[in-house]
Structure 1
């Protein structure tokens, strides 16, 4: 289900727009022309290929603990000489 609202309506009823976004995209218009689209995070991730960046994952309020293993740099790595 697609919903279309004006910028003014969005500013006055943001919670209603967020509820509508759980059912489908919400088009927000400026002077009658589509200007923005509000999506649920699930719809956004599906459109973005399902990939979430580390920064986006950590920015979430209830971000779970993540195991992160950075890739090795191959031959560029060498032990420090502390002699």
Structure 2
């Protein structure tokens, strides 16, 4: 999979290039040097939207893209003393 990065200006000036690049992999579109948008083929979008996050896909993303928030639920564990009578 090839990852392509274009500035907003490059994307606006050559949309057909971005669409062709999306056939090979995601196209990241930056605003002021930071990733702002991603262009995917509809097939890739449907594949990603059809399932929950996959750790392999998340780890394969370029740095700064797809930051993942992780807030696991708190588990309340009640500890009772053992009754040895």
Smaller-chain TM-score range? 0.5 to 0.7
Secondary structure at 1:34 match in 2: strand
Normalising by structure 1, we get a TM-score of 0.59
Q: How does 1:1-83 map to 2 (within 5 A)?
A: 1-49=2-50
Q: Distance in 1 between matches of 2:38 and 2:32?
A: 15
Cα RMSD (Å): 1.0
SS of the counterpart of 2:37? Answer: strand
Structure 2: which 5+ runs fail to align? 52-85
Give me the whole-angstrom Cα distance separating, in 2, the residues matched to 1:35 and 1:12: 17
Instruction: Name the structure where helix makes up a greater proportion of residues.
Output: 1
Distance 1:10 1:2 in 2: 15
Figure out how many residues of one structure are paired with residues of the other and give that number: 50
- Structure 1 runs of 4+ aligned residues shifted over 2 Å read none
TM-score, scaled relative to structure 2: 0.57
